Structure 1
Amino acid sequence: MRITNLMMMNNAIQNMADGQEKISKLRERVATQKQFQTASEDPVHASASLSLRSNLRTLEAYADTAASTNNWMNTTDYALNQLEEIGVQASNIILRGLNDSLSGSERYTALRTEMLGLIDKAVELGNSSVNGQFIFSGYQIDQKPFDLTDYVAADPVNELPYTDYQGNTFIPKVLNYRGDTGIMQRTLGPDQTVPMNVRGDQAIQQFIEDLIVASNALTQNNIHLPAPVPAVPTPPAVLPPAMPTLQEALTRVKSSSDIVNQYRTSNGARMRQVDSASNFLETVKIETKNLLSQKEDTNMAEGIALLTNQQTTFQAVLEVSQRAISALTLFDYMQ
């Protein structure tokens, strides 16, 4: 086969172009620190990389869910802890009120005022929220679960009013629960779910209502005896529902405080479950990222060495091609 001058020139140009292309790819690999830019460059590693990235996105979604769930449960734990402390304070107020040496005025002026403050604080804690979402409302996260309204008589025309220790009319407060019975489940893994919320009607409502009972007893100076009954006019007057005594209120507050404690304990157990899941997810994420790095990332020392060698080779190709082409003069051809 005859090697013409044109063939020699085309081969030289082709070799130089191939060298430039290799250098360009190696420079891109070193600059991006990735072994390939498109799946066609390395289909096997690209397929494994896509699978690992999909797994990593799933793990990150589970981790985000675990983080938001943990934040929600921490807020729940704080609120329930504060309610437990209110229960202790309320019990102390009631015990002070049970001292027979106190007058009705002292119970009304001092102790009732303290109890009303605890009721307001308990309602505020019952309306705790995370990022604008109320944690004790069940599914109704945009609705405040608790509010206080005035008692409305079942028979407004004939029912007699409640009276305080001096015989003056007073209107008791009534607690309303505006949430529902929903329990929100959160998925922390393929086969792992956890209830995130605590229902306010189960954990808190009775507790606040018992605080109101204690406040009413202090208002009426109703310590050990049935609530004072106003003078009954001629029928058809109807007596209002009887109110518990302060002694009964003490028993009720202690009982409902125990309920709050039970729900806090249950919430704490689920918090430990979420923490364990979060730690596991973080470990798996690190392992997945390491595997992904092995499939995608370039060994920088090796990449730089290959680039240096390729640049040296390209310089050699340039020099050889230059000599070969420059020798193809008319006089050289005539010889």
Structure 2
Amino acid sequence: MRVTQSMLAGNSLSNLSKSYSNMGKYQDQLATGKKINRPSDDPVVAIKGMFYRTNLTEVEQYKRNLSEAYTWMENSEDGVAHASDVLHRVRELVVKGNNGSNSPEDLKAIGAEIAQLKEDLAGVANTQVAGNYIFNGTQTKTKPVTIDANGVVDTSAMTSTAYNIEVSKGVQLRVNANPANVFSPELFDTLQKLEAGLLDGKGSLEDGDELLGKLDKHIDTILSERSEMGARYNRLELIDSRLGNQEVIASRILSDNEDADIEKVITDLTIQESIHRASLAVGAKIIQPSLVDFLR
């Protein structure tokens, strides 16, 4: 086969173009720190990267969900703890008012304090976090407890449905307290009867022992709810720890799949530059002077 000058020139230019392309690839890797910059560079790495990035995005979203779950549970637990403290104070007052040694004025003072504690409980039941009522189930925009001018508490708007947050793939965790166990209508009815019995001016608390027994049951119910919330909070912390580990693993796998080995890229780029210079030098020698050069 006859080899012409144009064939030598064409092959030389083609090889130089490939050399430029290789240099460009290594320069892109060095600039971006990634093995590939478009799917066509390596379809397998691109597909795996999409899958790994989806996993990492899911973990990051669940961690954001955890932040909301912590907010709900910590505020709910604080409200339940406060309600427990209030009822213990009410119990102290009932025991004091039920010993038969109090004057009518003393009983009225105790009744007035219980009335204030009742209103305080109603205020706790209406606790809002980021504009949401946390003690009204999924009806977070509805006020669960109202008090009229006579001090009568209305809990008809209260719901006990679970407010769940997805904290892991396929895992829904209840993050609110059950208001029926903390701010039940029976509780406010008991407080109302205690208040009325102490403020009637008779100098004694009728049905004091019976009301005290009901109060103890309410306290036990609240303590049980607080214990159940503590168990859910412990589970939330375990899920948080596991998600943290998953985030580290997912980030490492994604890095192994996509991130370029900078030391290797620099070495390859240096080698390719040397090859390119050699190609230019050899090409200059291969392309011999033409007849035109002799006619000048």
Alignment of 1:126-275 (within 5 A): 126-149=125-148, 171=150, 173-205=152-184, 206-221=186-201, 224=204, 226=206, 245-275=207-237
1:316-331 paired onto structure 2 within 5 Å: 316-325=278-287, 327-330=288-291
| Secondary structure class of the residue paired with 1:177 | coil
CA contact (8 A) 2:198 2:205 kept: no
Counterpart Cα distance in 2 of 1:274 and 1:208: 32
Q: Which residue of 2 aligns with 1:166?
A: none
Which letter maps to 2:112? Answer: T
2:82 is matched with: 82
Give the distance between the partners of 1:172 and 1:127, measured in 2 at CA: 16
In the superposition, relative to structure 1, how do residues 172 and 26 fare at CA in structure 2: closer, same or farther (>3 Å)?
closer
Does the CA contact (< 8 Å) of 1:223 and 1:247 recur in 2? Answer: no
CA apart distance, 1:277:
1.6
Aligned partner (choices 255, 272, 277) of residue 293 of structure 1 = 255
Alpha-carbon contact 2:56-2:247 (below 8 Å) kept: yes
Identical positions, percent: 22
Give me the whole-angstrom Cα distance separating, in 2, the residues matched to 1:180 and 1:88.
Answer: 25
- Equivalents in 2 of 1:256, 1:203: separation in Å? 8
Change (3 A) 1:133 1:323: same
Tell me, which stretches of 5 or more residues in structure 2 are unaligned? none
The alignment of Structure 1 onto Structure 2 pairs a total of residues equal to: 294
Cα distance in 1 for partners of 2:89, 2:48 equals 61
State TM-score, norm by structure 1: 0.79
Query: Once the 2 structures are TM-superposed, how far is the Cα of residue 324 of structure 1 from its aligned partner?
Result: 4.0
Shift in Å, 1:225? 5.7
Paired with 1:85 and 1:73, the residues of 2 have a C-alpha distance of: 18
Q: Does 1:91 align with 2:91?
A: yes
CA distance in 2, matches of 1:100, 1:91: 16
Q: Which amino acid aligns with 1:3?
A: V
Q: What are the residue-to-residue correspondences of 1:39-118 with 2, within 5 Å?
A: 39-108=39-108, 110-118=109-117
200-209 vs 22-31, which moves further: 200-209
Q: Given that residues 5 and 328 in structure 1 are in contact (C-alpha distance below 8 angstroms), is that contact kept between their aligned partners in structure 2?
A: no
Q: Is the 8 A contact 2:97 2:204 kept in 1?
A: no
Q: Distance in 1 between matches of 2:11 and 2:44?
A: 33
Residue 35 of structure 1 and its aligned partner are, at CA, apart by 0.7
The structure-2 alpha-carbon separation of the partners of 1:135 and 1:172, relative to structure 1 and needing over 3 Å to count, comes to closer
Q: How far apart are the structure 1 equivalents of 2:156 and 2:263?
A: 66
Counterpart of 2:146 in 1: which secondary structure? Answer: strand
The answer to whether the 8 Å contact 2:100/2:204 transfers is: no
CA distance in structure 2 between the aligned counterparts of 1:302 and 1:54, rounded to whole angstroms: 28
TM-score (norm 2): 0.88
Q: Which amino acid aligns with 2:133?
A: F
Residue 278 of structure 1 is matched in structure 2 by 240
Specify the alignment match of 1:10 in structure 2: 10
Distance (whole Å) between structure 2 residues aligned to residue 92 and residue 79 of structure 1: 20
Deviations 1:128-181 (A, max 9, x none): 22221111112211111111125xxxxxxxxxxxxxxxxxxxx55233231223
- Compare the two structures and name the one with the higher helix fraction: 2
Instruction: Determine if contact 1:133/1:141 at 8 Å carries over to the other structure.
Output: yes
Asked whether the equivalents of residues 224 and 247 of structure 1 are also in contact (C-alpha less than 8 Å), the reply is no
Inter-partner Cα distance in structure 2 for 1:2 and 1:223: 128
For 1:118, the aligned partner's letter is L
Q: Distance in 2 between matches of 1:223 and 1:104?
A: 4
Q: Aligned equivalents of 1:217 and 1:328: distance in 2?
A: 120
Partner SS, residue 178 of structure 1: coil
Q: Return the offset for 1:86.
A: 0.8
Structure 1 unaligned blocks of 5 or more: 151-170, 227-244
Asked if structure 1 preserves the Cα contact closer than 8 Å seen for 2:198 and 2:204, the reply is: no
Question: Structure 2 vs 1, CA of residues 257 and 221 (structure 1 numbering), >3 Å: closer, same or farther?
Answer: farther
Partner of 1:188: helix, strand, or coil? strand
Shift in alpha-carbon separation, 1:193–1:331, aligned structure 2, 3 A: closer
Q: Distance in 2 between matches of 1:13 and 1:43?
A: 29
State the AA in 2 paired with 1:129: Q
Report deviation, 1:333: 6.5
Could you say what secondary structure the match of 1:187 adopts?
strand
How much has 1:256 moved relative to structure 2?
A: 0.7
Question: Any idea what SS the aligned residue of 2:101 has?
Answer: coil
Does structure 1 conserve the Cα–Cα contact (< 8 Å) formed by 2:30 and 2:265?
A: yes
Decide whether the 8 Å contact of 2:73 with 2:176 is kept in 1.
yes
**2:270 corresponds to:** 308
The whole-number CA distance in structure 1 between the counterparts of 2:90 and 2:37 is 68
